Copies of this chain bind each other. A is one copy, B any other.
Amino acid sequence: MSNIKDVAKLAGVSTATVSRVLANNYPVANKTKNRVLEAVQSLNYEPNRMARNLRKRETKTVIVLLPDLKNPFFSEVIRGMEDVAAREGYHLFLGNTNNDVEREREYIKMLNEQMADGLILTTARIGKDDILQLSEKKPLVLACEYLEGTDIPCVSIDNIGSARRATNHLISLGHKRIAHLSGPINVVLCRDRMNGYLQALHSKGIPVDESLMEAGDFSIDSGYLLTRKLLSLERRPTAIFAANDEMAIGAIKAVKEAKLSVPEDVAIVGFDNIPISTIIEPALTTISQPKYIIGKTAMEMVLNLIKKVPIPRHQMVLPEELIIRESCGVHAAL
């Protein structure tokens, strides 16, 4: 590994000149520049990032925390982030928290150790206070989530409104016994979706039956298991609103296994519109989020925070879409 001194010596210039040529942000005579470039070439020189980062007190890196790598929803969000990061010369440091608060803290520690310039949290597990405190010291943006009562920059859809809309769709189809498969309740957007579900029931005067509300972990498996439980109820639900598509897919599996049919016996609505939701049978009615835009916007926001460019609005709420496919049909009672 050669360093800047080696290059300087070979090119017969000072290290400062080498640095200038490489940064390309300062006038250097063409002749000198070429000599430096040749030296760089022949030594196969790559500047040491650690040294540069230390000196410049920036890393051009943003940590992006994901709750779960295998959730295809995020891959599209990430694409949006990557595209703007690349354009601005930034790298993503993808952190997989596996839904574990400790893992989340690990990465936050890395941020404090200045291994990155900023942080994007998608579906945070740590508490509101911790987030608030961190946000005061560091460029931090919430993606997919909205932290009520704070001014923390975030970009998401209206999870409450979307859930209300999904539930209302089921109600409009004639359903009264509508179950809700929630995600982990310590996640804000899960509580939001649950609240949207409850709001819809209330507004239509449908009594809430707590036995119809179950919390899973966003996995196909948990959707499957919880639906089996729901189906074994004395008065089983005629519809299920799941907080994500995976759980909805698990629910479909359980309904089919019980020799019942979707949507005739049980209508199902998911959330996220992941690719497989069009393949599964019946195809899933679901809420579609502008995934790419969420990612793009979130990254634009952190980069602005990092560069101390004022952000016009701190809280961006993007429109969602209800995509109607076959998993709801028309309820017999209509």
Contact = CB atoms under 8 A, between A and B. Distances in A.
Interface of A: 1, 46-51, 53-54, 59, 68-70, 72, 74-76, 78-79, 82, 91-96, 98, 109-110, 112-115, 220, 249-250, 253, 275-276, 279-281
Most buried by B among A110, A112, A250, A279: A279
A48 B113 CA distance: 5
Question: What 9 A-B pairs come out closest when comparing CB atoms?
Answer: A70-B75, A94-B94, A49-B113, A50-B54, A69-B75, A46-B112, A50-B53, A70-B72, A49-B115
A275 B280 CA distance: 13
Given A46-B109, A114-B48, A78 B82 contact: no
Contacts of A276: 220, 249, 276
A253 B72 CA distance: 19
B279 A249 contact: yes
Contacts of A92: 96
A324 to B, nearest CB: 20
A306 to B, nearest CB: 15
A96 B82 contact: yes
A281 B281 contact: yes
Nearest to A107: B91
A21 B82 CA distance: 39
Contacts of A112: 46
A294 B80 CA distance: 30
Contact of A49 (B110, B253, B281): B110
A74 B69 contact: yes
A107 to B, nearest CB: 9
Contact of A59 (B50, B68, B95): B50
Contacts of A114: 1, 46, 48-50
Nearest to A49: B113
A76 B98 CA distance: 11
